[in-house]
Structure 1
Amino acid sequence: ATLRIFPGALCDIKMVASGPTERKISELLPLSCTITGAPLDTRYYDWNYVRQTARGELQVLGWIYPFGNNTGSAPAFQGRVTITADTVKQKVSLQLHALTATDTATYFCA
């Protein structure tokens, strides 16, 4: 068997996240991520949202695979997370509903 490795150095994919820096309890957190360097709907990638808590814990919120039109969310966030993709604008968006104090974190797209 042959192991094929595709190092990230061969790719120049950039993801730029944007959204508000503060929200109030019970509000909606809208985030977006603009992706360059690869078509959003390529079969090779899915796009994820993760967050890092103040204690340093990484938590996956959810993902989207535009090529197959599939989305999913981590069990802890089911019913609170909506992730969409706009392949024309090359943007992946997340909405986290019903914010609580435990949602205080740094959010990333990956």
Structure 2
Amino acid sequence: IFLTKSQTSHLPCIFPGSLSHVKMLASGPREGKLSGSLPLTCTVIGAPLDSRYYDWNCVRQAPGGELQFLGWIYPFGNNTGYAPSFQGRVTITADKAKNK
């Protein structure tokens, strides 16, 4: 799972190099059962998670290698949105106190 930062919209985009000062540390199991849940955590270092200027996009790399947009979160306003194919299958939350 990749977390990307977008300044302009909730489109499924990745902006290479635009956030070189931001580090993201992922933790959690790499695989899970098809019918079970798979909790993943991404800790953001070098940028406030709840900035009013940015939303965060969640992207996964599918087994075939292609990137798939899962959804986005705007922690400042407590808003989320999901790709239609992942609606009801993915929940994106933010813990502002822990920057996760």
Same fold at TM > 0.5: yes
Structure of greater relative contact order (alpha carbons < 8 Å, 6+ residues apart): 1
Structure having the larger proportion of residues in helix: 1
TM-score, normalised to structure 1, is: 0.69
Cα distance in 2 for partners of 1:72, 1:44 equals 17
2:42 paired with 1:27: no
- Larger of the two Rg values belongs to structure: 1
Cα distance in 2 for partners of 1:62, 1:81 equals 8
* Count of residues paired in the alignment: 84
Identity of aligned residues (%): 69
Structure having the larger proportion of residues in strand: 1
Q: 1:66 aligns with which of 64, 69, 75?
A: 75
Gaps of 5+ in 2: 1-16
Gaps of 5+ in 1: 1-6, 92-110
AA partner of residue 18 (structure 2): G
TM-score, normalised to structure 2, is: 0.76
- Give the root-mean-square deviation of aligned CA atoms: 1.6
- Residue equivalent to 2:95: 86
